[in-house]
Structure 1
């Protein structure tokens, strides 16, 4: 498979979603703070000023989510004094016609919240439209998968003990005030396989030390914490809520895993260890270890960058969802495609063009590489696809094709596959 040089979309490294969270240029954040140092930004220093992030979530939206949206586990957790409250205490059937037994019971939540429990709304990048849009844009800009949770804490209450996360976070205070204590890592840049619970003793010892940062966050303030930084928070004299935007950083270790996956092609590395080997004996392993390292080094030095990139794409692209579709409108638009139809690429969709394998009687098809699949399209659509991807959208009748009917067939296919969407203002 050959990647085509033209028509390749790349995620932005900066954009409006990320800029909303930063009091400094994106380039400076990338150099000084990304994965390295915490950063506190007061609302007044952010581009939108006080209230600039108020559209993302408020307490009324929290009430609506837990009371009228049919929310189920695991989209909600409840915690008190550092311990998770069993879901059986706050879930039940939805009543006639909705007998699913793990739906959130708002009356049970009321009692728990009034008694000091914290509500943790999980996966808001899938359930709350303003945060769906924000997280989709942010993930496209960062190139790293994003998740969004919210923590709603009663006055004078604490949800979780000091801990660290295995992903970077932006904390956005959206209601009330919360006192944060932040400390440096006990393990720099932990992987997802290295949670804080594996280092409870070290975490407790570090939590007993003076904090690196102790500040009260007020509505609109933003705190960035690289993965591994210890933190805990306590609500003050009123109900407090903050949004946590978790960034699942793609690491060099992940790149190493992709490299190692390619080493399976080396015959020397596929050979069996000696009969009767004791793998717990370092002396028995010494000779084979040396041979393995030599073969592995030779294989890695010759690694093909395109093959590694393909493995990374297949692993990480599916972790970031593109912008949502409207299936009913989309199907109607596909049925009504004509020369004047306007379409644009689906927001935040990751897509690349590649050249397929030719057959004896046909030219190589064009492959459209998508997060979880690929589309094979006729070779004659290549120029039109390149134009569409480069411009981000098109009018069907203006696409460069030899036969005007080919443009309609192509756009109809792309609409049905969710690659493009009707342009704003275009009615099917």
Structure 2
């Protein structure tokens, strides 16, 4: 459920667990600007472990691209660690645990991708972190054998939080050669500069132990080597929205402006000095457009973009269907975590606006709906409704996967 951040201040438990410092300090001093290394305050073994790796590899039937392997900086062909699942599961890109063992024992690193979709504890933590940050996030695990380098020095085009789960890993971190890179500005476009910077004195050169957490803004150059045993770390990638994204939403209104739709001069020569006049006229028209654009329109577009890159908490279809068949009035129900929805009232209806549909209920249900957006309620005792009506509304919203049983 989208909700305002009153006064810009609220609890951010997942972020606080990662940084160990006040949110305001992190926001002002580190976010998007410089690394933060927090030494072990928490083991994070409730999120992930070596046993979790073995279960995912051996039991879950993972397929590419949810897994990849690399050796000394080079990504292995998928055939080196995948195969068919046999009768009834013949698809050939499934993880083969025996092949993974062979490659891992030979020094290859294993990368489990998209754990915010495949491992429940990480999925729940990531949903909270996304709510804390207001930016989408995803999680990979890197499992590295002793003294394996993994990947060459590089930078990412997204911010990351690194959580050391098991073993030790030495991280070497250098300042950017290209600040705040966008998604289409990868490190390979600056390969020589990255290699040169990686030979200079690092900003951070430290061995991470279990429970250590690193925040690294995008663009910061890094590489890592496991120390003396198998290393497991989580990398939480955060796709932070930028002012460039805001500008793109602003310029989306350019097609509504007749001055910006006006043709260039007849016989225009793009290489002649006279073309500067066309540029000046375009800048003037764009400046006037930007001054007219309503902030609410841009904010709504940014919110839709955010909602399109995040997923709400999953629902359990069979358990929910069984619950609907005999919903007890005392059952606690609440808004589905992370569900992008907005409530709108008119004269005779209350509307729940979802990304893919709008649910309309009688106006008498308005108080109940607004109360549900704030706190869990008893299914048979919703504000403003009698027992029968409360159960009707609760069943409808459980069936629509707007509410879940607590």
Give the TM-score normalised by the residue count of structure 1. Answer: 0.88
Q: 1:333 aligns with which of 323, 333, 358?
A: 323
**Change beyond 3 A, Cα 1:370–1:283:** farther
**CA contact under 8 A between 1:89 and 1:108: conserved in structure 2?**
yes
**CA contact under 8 A between 1:9 and 1:350: conserved in structure 2?**
no
Q: 1:368 aligns with which of 345, 352, 357?
A: 352
Is structure 2 residue 70 aligned with structure 1 residue 73?
no
**Change beyond 3 A, Cα 1:128–1:81:** same
Deviation at 1:244, TM superposition (A): 0.5
Instruction: Describe how 1:230-379 pairs up with structure 2 within 5 A.
Output: 230-274=221-265, 277=268, 280-281=270-271, 283=273, 285-337=275-327, 339-355=329-345, 363=347, 365-379=349-363
Regions of 4+ moved over 6 Å:
none
Deviation at 1:114, TM superposition (A): 1.0
Question: For the residues of structure 2 that align with 1:198 and 1:378, how far apart are their CA atoms?
Answer: 57
Structure 2 unaligned spans of 5+: none
- 1:153 is matched with which residue? 144
Give the TM-score normalised by the residue count of structure 2. Answer: 0.93
Is structure 2 residue 398 aligned with structure 1 residue 415?
yes
Question: For the residues of structure 1 that align with 2:228 and 2:79, how far apart are their CA atoms?
Answer: 30
**Change beyond 3 A, Cα 1:291–1:406:** farther
Deviates more, 1:32-41 or 1:286-295: 286-295
Question: For the residues of structure 2 that align with 1:184 and 1:14, how far apart are their CA atoms?
Answer: 31
Q: 2:32 aligns with which of 22, 31, 35?
A: 35
Deviation at 1:264, TM superposition (A): 2.5
**Change beyond 3 A, Cα 1:343–1:402:** closer
RMSD (Å), alpha carbons: 2.1
- 2:19 is matched with which residue? 22
**Change beyond 3 A, Cα 1:206–1:218:** same
Question: For the residues of structure 1 that align with 2:298 and 2:359, how far apart are their CA atoms?
Answer: 21
**CA contact under 8 A between 2:380 and 2:388: conserved in structure 1?**
no
Deviation at 1:158, TM superposition (A): 0.7
**CA contact under 8 A between 1:90 and 1:108: conserved in structure 2?**
yes
- 2:90 is matched with which residue? 99
Question: For the residues of structure 1 that align with 2:87 and 2:266, how far apart are their CA atoms?
Answer: 64
**CA contact under 8 A between 2:365 and 2:385: conserved in structure 1?**
no
Q: 2:128 aligns with which of 134, 137, 140?
A: 137
Structure 1 unaligned spans of 5+: 1-6, 357-362, 424-428
**CA contact under 8 A between 1:317 and 1:372: conserved in structure 2?**
no
Give the aligned length. Answer: 403
Deviation at 1:410, TM superposition (A): 2.4
Q: Secondary structure at the match of 2:252?
A: helix
**CA contact under 8 A between 2:30 and 2:36: conserved in structure 1?**
yes
Question: For the residues of structure 2 that align with 1:65 and 1:9, how far apart are their CA atoms?
Answer: 35
